[in-house]
Amino acid sequence: MRGAGLRSALVFLAAGLLVGLLLTLKEGPRAPSGPAPARRVARELTISRPGSPARILFGASAEGTPAMWMSNGPGRGTLQAGVHGNGFPFVLVSDAAVRSFGLGRVDGINASPILVYRSDDVVRLVFGLSMTEAGQPAFLVHYTGDGTRHEFLGRYCDDPGRVCTR
């Protein structure tokens, strides 16, 4: 009789343990408690919400340099920022295909600040400090839809090669 009582007690204990465990695990991960840690280190950081395509990614570019990508999802416009392989920083707001964009960057041996607006894969406006001339005078050029160039201010070298940055 005592043996039967002990067995049933153990059965109830085990059943209770199982139910308690299942109910607790069903709650999901707990939010961290206590003060925030002072410092965290990682190779990549993604910020997103379950069920949402919006995403912010901090990580390395194909060149191995630091970069950030921000998007509402595939096929949508993006915001990118980071450092090119040659060390020059950039900020880019663009469509998904990067055919239309506004680009702020630094380039050339004088580390000239440049602002570029491109529409449907055609550069329409470039503004900044000269990458080729001594003293880095200011320039602003814009292009009409047929490609006609207008130098509104200063001069700009628009050779597609890197010759303009040297």
Partner 1 sequence: MSITTSGLVPFVFSALGMLAGHWLGRSTLLRPIEASAAAAELSVTRFELVDGQGRRTILMDTVDDRPSIWFFDKNGKARLNLGLYADDNAFIVLNDDRERAVQIFRTRGPESAPFLVMKSGGRDRIVMGLAGAAQDPFLVHFDPAGRKRTVFGSDR
For partner 1, the binding residues (CB under 8 A) are 5, 8-10, 12-25, 27, 29-32, 36-45, 58-60, 64-68, 81-83, 87-91, 104-106, 110-115, 127-129, 134-138, 153
Cα of 132 vs its chain's centroid, Å: 31
Nearer to partner 1, 48 or 72 (CB): 48
Closer CB to partner 1, residue 121 or residue 140? 140
First-to-last C-alpha distance (Å) of the chain:
97
| 156: exposed, middle or buried (Cβ count in 10 Å: 0-12, 13-18, 19+) | buried
CB of 17 to partner 1, least distance (A): 4
Nearer to partner 1, 46 or 72 (CB): 46
Residue with Cβ nearer partner 1 (45 or 97): 45
Cα(123)–Cα(126) distance, integer angstroms: 8
Shortest Cβ 45–partner 1 spacing (Å)? 6
**Distance of closest approach, residue 101 Cβ to partner 1, in angstroms:** 15
Contact 71, 55 (CB under 8 A): yes
**Cα atoms found within 13 Å of the Cα of residue 130, Cβ hemisphere only:** 14
- The nearest distance, CB 75 to partner 1, in angstroms, is 25
Q: Can you tell me the distance from the alpha carbon of 20 to that of 132, in angstroms, rounded to the nearest whole number?
A: 73
